Structure 1
Amino acid sequence: MNSFVRHRTLRSSEGLRSLVREHAWSVKDLVLPLFVQEGLKGKEEISAMPGIYHFGLDEFRREIHEISQLGIPGILLFGIPGHKDDQCTSAYDENGIVQQAIRVAKQENPDLVVMTDVCLCQYNPTGHCGIVRDGKIVNDESLTLIAKTALSHALAGADVVAPSDMMDGRIAAIRSALEEHQLHDVAILSYAVKYASAFYGPFREAAHSAPAFGDRRTYQMDPANSREALREAMSDVEEGADMLMVKPALSYMDVTRTIRDSFDLPVATYNVSAEYSMVKAAAQRGWIDERAIVSEMLVSFKRAGADFIITYHAKDAAVWWKQQG
């Protein structure tokens, strides 16, 4: 009898490795975040995120065509309005930039899954995700506007609304608004577990949403906590969420696994801006093999339990996927 096990036997050829491989990603797992800016013509690259752009509606239409040709099944829309005010009126304007972009995307490709980020930060002069009163972000008053924003996205044709504000009770408020308007087929993807992370840095430039004062730690989660993630996710499930998200992805794979093991709803993870920018910066220096690094990251998110991955790498990854046949 052998005194040791030959584990290497099943690694001896690519054919064997492929047959016994436990996890894989495909282009069908990917959702691409897109930034649409009111009043912009063409597109402008976001300096902190090489290869990612602010799109005017004209160039956005062409981008949707390209995404569709690559086989990417879904997008997550962020809007950059031309006007901000204390009541965040551009967020729920039926002719707001996101609402217009939804209609453009659906005209270009009716089968594309259009998800929308639902938050007030881009539309609020303070850059905070809720209404501000006397220097504090107030929860309950914010829910009305958050639900109103989600409803406006749904009425414009969004398939999925994704509230990212982290106000308590937002899922219940949105579900009630959707039900009241008979929008039974619009899904809610909750940013159920969203940490107050340093990995969002480049996104602040992308979304023009840096807080004017303080930070977001009174409503986003403490990075040190994992049990709290279960409480957050449970509340959203009970309030009517259809899917759950963990954000960021790379440093929180343990949390993704915990959520996956605890709930039977689909789970997404968001491979956020700094995670993307770090890879891009190192690749531009020639320090890493970008394709190999991104592929390894994507399979790790699947291994952790993500059903789909929101990532700025989606277009590159889709090209690589096609190349490997």
Structure 2
Amino acid sequence: MGFQAEKQVVRNFYHALDQAAVAEVPTVMAQHCSPDLLWRGFHPFGEIRGAEDVGAQFWVPLRQNLTRLQRRIDVFFAGQNRYDDPGGVWVCSMGHLMGLHDGPWLGIRPTRKMAFLRYCAFHRVEGGRITETAMYFDIPHLMLQAGLQPFPVETGAQLVQPGPMTHDGLLFAAQPEEEGTRTLAAIEAMIADLGQWDSKMALEEELARTWHDDMIWWGPSGIGATYTIERYAKQHSGPFRAAFTERSKTGHLCRMAEGHYGGFFGWPNFTARHTGGFMGMPATGKTGEFRVIDIYRRHEDKLAENWIFIDLLHFWHQQGVDILGRTTGIEQP
């Protein structure tokens, strides 16, 4: 089964959107997306219904404030949703939106310098149009580039994140079906081991079953990136598991793979109760949602790289902390 037609729909959409004048964006959205498009984005956007409304509420303000916008794609693939969803073909792209930070998008002070908005998007394509989108983007990363400090010191590394080490993430051409099957199997084995954090194995032993030892976990700003199983266990996975209890089962709206790449997203992926310190913040005892996109690169039969997008602003808002409002509000007169 090939997904070339669906890929071309998304590529045509990106080309038209990126070339359009700001005032033309809602029209471009209407031309390439269904009128009742369901769009999911990170806090403070949430769900938006309607192609033109997505253009007006998200893309126009972004383009007005992050000017001369370029789309720099590092990973692009498509696949059949592995859940019971006849005809559910999705196309994924991941990378950065780069521009000149000339205006106060979401109240984030402009620097008049180049800035990168880290993003990942899943698009469902039906009948030659985009009918559903999950577009997750790292707003805290943009805040840090503007000199703001939304979170305490990270356990991982803060940096502009590159694409795959192998530089082969743009799957514009059709891929062997068996490679996508192997990638999806590796992802699902990892999810099965993860469970609800109840494998009874030592953490590094558990991780070594499905990850290469020199794995790279490209985490979101506020947590940071980490390299090797040993450092990932110490700098993220261990502290994260220690901070939460009552983790729900994993639930995804889409999970797919093509070639050596695959990923998933949920709304939310899981819930957990915050009973220990996390990201330098004290426990609240409250249950929170984790809205996440994960993108993976497989090497042989294990996972080698993982790019993660977590709506930390939404999570902390549920805990009673308005990170975006608090941080940008410091500079208001």
TM-score by structure 1 length?
A: 0.29
Larger radius of gyration: 1
TM-score by structure 2 length?
A: 0.28
The answer to which structure has the higher helix fraction is 1
The answer to which structure has the higher strand fraction is 2
